[in-house]
Amino acid sequence: MQEAFLFIFTRKITSMLNIVLFGPPGSGKGTQAAKLVEKYQLIHLSTGDIFRTNIKGETELGKLAKSYIDKGQLVPDEVTIGMLQSEADKHTNPAGFIFDGFPRTIQQAEALDKYLNGRNTSITMMLSLEVNEDELRKRLLLRGKDSGRADDQDPAVIQNRIDVYNRDTAPAKEFYTKQNKYKGINGVGAIDDIFQSLCNAIEARVNG
Ligand code: AMP
């Protein structure tokens, strides 16, 4: 009886595939998240995308977020964590989540662990796209021309986002390293090759 309970309990803990897709701005998280979502049927939660939808819709949250995003600063943790949780709550029985652009601080990482624990699940692994700063600056300016994203058009805002990443966000790698869940992936090269590296890492984790 006890074994049966334990089996059901562990199955529930491990059955979702929850990925943190990590990396500096311009590292290709959005591009790769779209491909991973398709392959593994995951729910894609991009805090940047949710903020942009709110900005377009001129909601209160959007107005608040815009004041930070335009300067290349992080939106405060309380706001971001609350928003992420209410978006995740909309999905009652997903195959898993892919968190794109979240967590961006240790406090967000801790809140995410607590939230998933409350759902009897946990982060499977963090996949971190590693791209050097010169390449990031080039990619972001190019994206600014194509997408019209204001925060991708001003070199000072771009540099601020990279600095904020190095100072406040990169330490989250340590958080997942301590849990044995961190995996760095070379984010420079052909999109399909990078995708293959991500899939290999996921499959090694899930089957290994
Ligand atoms: P992204 O699309 O992920 O590059 O995010 C665009 C901007 O949204 C960032 O530069 C931040 O200002 C804000 N943002 C997105 N995700 C977060 C987060 N997890 N915490 C705080 N701010 C965020």
For CA atoms 143, 149, 153, 156, the dihedral sign is: negative
Residues near 101 by Cβ (< 8 Å), separated by ≥ 6? 29, 46, 47, 48, 49
- Residue 6 pLDDT > 90: no
Q: Give the pLDDT score at 61.
A: 97
Give mean pLDDT, residues 4-16. 56
Active-site pick, 66, 139, 143, 183 = 143
- Predicted confidence band of residue 3 (pLDDT cuts 50, 70, 90): low
Q: Give the pLDDT score at 2.
A: 54
Q: H or E segment at 201?
A: helix 191-207
**Chain-centroid distance, C-alpha 107:** 14
Where is pLDDT greater, at 3 or 82? Answer: 82
What is the b/e burial string over 156-192, where b = at least 16 CB atoms within 10 angstroms of the residue's CB? ebbeebbebbeebbeebbebbeeeebbbebebeeeee
Give the integer Cα–Cα distance in Å for 207 and 193: 21
Residues near 84 by Cβ (< 8 Å), separated by ≥ 6? 45, 47, 50, 99, 102, 108, 112, 115
Where is pLDDT greater, at 7 or 27? Answer: 27
Pocket around ligand 1 at a 6 A CB cut-off = 25, 47-48, 51, 68-69, 72-75, 80, 101-102, 104, 108, 151, 161
The rounded percent of the chain whose pLDDT value lies above 90 is 90
Q: Give the pLDDT score at 138.
A: 95
Q: Give the residue from 81, 34, 75, 25 showing the smallest Cα distance to 55.
A: 75
- Residue 10 pLDDT > 70: no
Give mean pLDDT, residues 51-56. 97
205 labelled catalytic: no
Nearest-5° Cα angle at 13, 173 to 47: 45
- Predicted confidence band of residue 208 (pLDDT cuts 50, 70, 90): confident
pLDDT digits (tens, 9 = 90+) for 55-87: 999 999 999 999 999 999 999 999 999 999 999
Q: Where are the domains positioned within the chain? A: 16-132+170-207
Mean of per-residue pLDDT scores for the chain:
94
Residue closest via CA to ligand 1's atom 8 equals: 48
Give mean pLDDT, residues 12-38. 91
Q: Give the residue from 117, 140, 175 showing the smallest Cα distance to 48.
A: 140
pLDDT digits (tens, 9 = 90+) for 126-183: 999 999 999 999 999 999 998 888 899 999 999 999 999 999 999 999 999 999 999 9
Q: Give the residue from 125, 148, 158, 153 showing the smallest Cα distance to 24.
A: 158
Distance of CA 184 from the midpoint of ligand 1 (Å): 21
CA distances to 45, 49, 135 from 191, in Å:
21, 21, 14
**99 beta partners:** 20, 45
Topology classification of domain 16-132+170-207: Rossmann fold (3.40.50)
Give the integer Cα–Cα distance in Å for 45 and 33: 9
Q: Give the pLDDT score at 13.
A: 47
CA distances to 14, 60, 80, 122 from 110, in Å:
19, 26, 13, 11
Q: Which amino acid is at 106?
A: I
